[in-house]
Structure 1
Amino acid sequence: MSLHSFFLFKSLHFSLLIIIIMIGFTSPSISAQGPPSPGYYPSSRFGSIGFDQGFRNLWGPQHQRLDQGSLTIWLDKSAGSGFKSLRPYQSGYFSASIKLQPGYTAGVDTSFYLSNNEAHPGNHDEIDIEFLGTTPGKPYTLQTNVFVRGSGDGNVIGREMKFHLWFDPTQNFHNYAILWTPSEIIFLVDDVPIRRYPRKSDATYPLRPMWVYGSIWDASPWATENGKYKADYQYAPFVGRYTNFRLSGCASGGSCNPPSVSPSGAGGLSRQQNSAMAWVQRNRMVYDYCSDPKRDHTHTPEC
């Protein structure tokens, strides 16, 4: 090989090495790309409160710790824990900043939701945000759900949409919110709408007053890959952390204008918010009950 050829070869080899290094640095940022900006951040319009200003322990008080308005709840083989708002609401914006536990969390359900199951046992309504635990190397699943006069006894009609988030929910606190009004339900993550459920009929929409709940519990029969992986208590305690609670709603029995998450102050979403939601559903949604061929859609006419 001539001296000129040798230097040309080394130059090409060095350039190729630089390209490989650059790809290595840029690929994670591409894979970790988040949704486009929603252009509006409704969480900033609602003041946060401490846990004891709006909630109380419901069960598992020995698995609940309060520190300067922030709440930690945990599950071990003896029990989990749950909390409940001090009053019911007819509609409103409800959110909390939540941080999840890393590592093996299969079978564990960490939740923030609305329900009237205690007022209407066997015939209740519910609006759910649930984090379904996972195994190392696999992402948490965020499950949203809407029950209408369901009992949870096997005859309940779930309306699940599931997502893998565009960030690691174990690294930092992120804001998760439910807007519930007489005309629509909107789920938001860090102010990005991920799902909108409009009222199409009274039969498919929750209208009775509900309380706000949170909990951590063992849902091994179904939570992780349809029950393939169960809660393993050698990794316990399993911990959920909550802070920056926001409860802005119409109290049951009262009259008020329900809040909005749209910049117009009216119902629905802006064009920019719809664009962000479309990105999430296109890129991060992993299950939609309306698209499940195994479901009997006569029970979900809104599809």
Structure 2
Amino acid sequence: MILTVTLNTALDLTYGVAALVPHSSHRVSDLSERPGGKGINVARVVTALGHDSVVTGFAGGATGSVLRELLAALPPGTATLTDALVPVAGDTRRTLAVADRATGDTTQFNEPGPHITAAEWTAFLRSYEELLTGADAVALCGSLPPGIHVGAYAELIRPARAAGVPVLLDTSGEPLRRGIAARPDLIKPNADELAQLTGSRDPLRATRDARRRGAHAVIASLGPDGMLAVTPDGSWQASPPAPVKGNPTGAGDSAVAGLLSGLVEGLSWPDRLRRAVALSTATVLAPTAGDFDRAAYEELLPRVAIEEHAPAA
């Protein structure tokens, strides 16, 4: 089972408009809503790839109820997605993606999330440590809601490592800086997050620096240029065959799903990267935020280019 943690879950709304024009009124041509937050996106893709998953984190209020109803209504497949979210008093946030159908561009709006109390955090920690006993890997994903201390991810990494469960951290800013010191097995920053962490804009140098700070392996997301991995076994860059236009919402989460599923299947690093880049690109091409186009994924997978980098001097 793959466990995903989303401390700041969301109800993801996508509005399609013919063209997004500032200072104008718009008629929505299509609307979708889905359970969201980075870890939930990861779990959806992991499950589609045939791995059982459990989602935990927080959900509350009317929005949280809708989110959980949508989770329960997901179509059954060969693998199961189990809801282990912890109830809270505050309202789960909403995110809004406005998709310009003329250009293919998307504009994103994110609410901050509910305030989490000390008692709610303690209840979550108890549940999390119980869930770790059945996990093959865990993903800690996304922003922290109000009320959660910036060292929260470091606090979650330690029991996972003590239980021998590989842990992937996908966050940014001070939570990433604190979390990396707890020595996660893998981090997946994007180029901006990596530069903020290390002070370097050179992806290879910054990725190697991030690994020296405590992460066992570092996978940097380079947007249309693919992904760069620095691991104990070597360094590689994986690139899609061509840039694509579409909705990037959830693309990084699909990449995390590819990395985690590849880890539990025992794939080599190049094959994990190939899967992650193909899934990420296929997510950009999907019409609904956070889904992935399976036909595009299967077509892209063998076409992802892998380049090995020489070891650091």
Rg bigger for which structure?
1
Report the TM-score when normalising by structure 2: 0.27
Question: Which is bigger in relative contact order (C-alpha 8 A, separation at least 6)?
Answer: 1
